[in-house]
Amino acid sequence: MESPPNGMHLAGDTILRSAKGLVTVGVLIAGDLCVAGEQSLPAEGEPVPWAPLVSAVRAHDLALVNLECPLTERRRAIRKSGPSLRGDPALARVVASGGFGAVTLANNHMLDAGPAGLEDTLTACSRAGLMAVGAGLDLASAEKPLQVDVRGMRVRVIACAEREFSIAGPSSPGAAPLDPWKTPELVNDATRSADVVVVVVHGGNEFAAVPRPGLVAACRALVAAGAHAVVCHHAHVAGPVEVYRGAPIFYGTGNFLFPSSSAMGQAWHLGYAVSLQLTVGGVSSFQLLPYEQGVAGLTVRQLGEREEKAFAARLLQAAAVVADPELLAAAWEEHCEDQRRYYLHAALGLTRVERRLLRQRIWPAWRRPRRRAGKRGALRRSCGWACWATRREIARSP
């Protein structure tokens, strides 16, 4: 492996598990990559959108990125809530030429083009020389860890996703699920045949800069089962880092390259890749490689020194919230309160006038009697299902 890239170090408690070996293996994990629709890709031989980061990506023995869309020419999409994404199969070639050797496919969009779209994706990745983990033609193949042996070290990567629209079944294609009972068992099984186990989780709540309590509990359970590092993506914003029982947990890498036709805030465009130095028995060190994707066009650049400091300060502030259960619970309730208008609009099809009334905390009485939709009624409960699910998830976590 080449010299590790210059990255961003976070201050604070980063006492990692004691290393047992002298040999190190570098692994880089990046977040969501989706170039969907009719957006044009660079031709073969042209620079990739993340050209400023390519040398840092290639400095690792293994580099993975989350492929957030099926790669297929099929136009038919499944019926679902939310957007159905589809990328050009040529994107696999771009990913490989940009320094990545593997993709994680465990995410909520991998079945957007149906089972055939997933098969096309696996074929496109294979032809481009990319290894894939986290999805397959049945549950057993989806849950199979990625096995990489480098300089005598056995590295295993497990990828899974929270249950949405893409989960595999015993005999049906899809993504590996994040299961509160089975996933820790898979991690524990992997430790018996590996020197280091890394888990990549596609989970969390969109646009939540602080993870919900249930995700924190789930990630910590994976560490308790033997994972030496846990890396999350899906929220489309960068999340904090904590070291739990000597293992780093990254609660959100943010987007890597995910251009949007809608105007998105700055948080959508900022993210980081995780650079891990692995040795027998765990992570000897880690760094963050922060970047910003362009507002227009397909571009990704590294942050400058001043931008890095501001970015690190936000992550450290969020990490302090994760470390305090009361602050974490309060932050989750605040997120639910902030998102209630979105859920009500999606569920009831509210008009623009009604959404404006909600912003003023005025419930449109013609929608529902006030006594059933007071401040602590339907408005409060608009995200109540999510809060309930979180508490249930904590109670069920190992």
Residue whose tokens read 């990506």? 57
- What whole-number distance in Å separates Cα of residue 10 and Cα of residue 318? 12
What mean pLDDT do residues 155-175 have?
96
Helix (H, G, I), strand (E, B) or coil at 78: coil
**Sign of CA pseudo-dihedral 172, 176, 181, 183:** positive
Q: What residue spans define the domains of the chain?
A: 25-323, 327-396
pLDDT digits (tens, 9 = 90+) for 96-114: 999 999 999 999 999 999 9
Cα 394 to Cα 396: distance, rounded to the nearest angstrom: 5
pLDDT at 47: 96
Return the higher-pLDDT residue of 22 and 160.
Answer: 160
Distance CA(224)–CA(316), nearest Å, equals 23
Q: Give Cα separations from 270 to 51, 59, 218, 276 (angstroms).
A: 16, 22, 25, 20
Q: Does the pLDDT value for residue 395 go beyond 50? A: no
Residue-wise pLDDT tens digits, 219-239: 999 999 999 999 999 999 999
Cα–Cα distance for residue pair 336/214, rounded to 1 Å: 14
Q: Which of 64-68, 284-288, 293-297, 352-356 is the least confident region?
A: 352-356
Is the pLDDT assigned to residue 372 strictly greater than 70? no
Mean model confidence pLDDT for the chain: 88
For 237-282, the three-class secondary structure string (H helix, E strand, C coil) is CECCEEEECCEEEECCECEEECCCCCCCCHHHHEEEEEEEEEECCE
Burial environment of residue 298 by CB neighbours within 10 A (0 to 12, 13 to 18, 19 or more):
middle
Domain 25-323 CATH class label? alpha beta
Residue 398's pLDDT band, with cuts at 50, 70 and 90, is: very low
> Residue 83 — very low, low, confident or very high, per pLDDT cuts 50/70/90?
confident
H/E segment holding residue 398: none
**Distance (Å, whole) CA 388 – CA 274:** 31
CA distance 21 to 152: 11
Tokens encoding 195 = 């020197």
d(CA 176, CA 139): 6
Alpha helices in the chain (DSSP H): 54-58, 91-97, 114-127, 139-143, 182-191, 213-224, 266-269, 305-322, 325-348, 352-359, 378-381, 384-396
**343: closest CA among 380, 371, 374?**
380
In this prediction, residues 300-313 reach a mean pLDDT of 96
* Closest alpha carbon to 37 in 82, 86, 84: 86
What tokens were used for 255? 């987007």
Percent of the chain with pLDDT over 70: 83
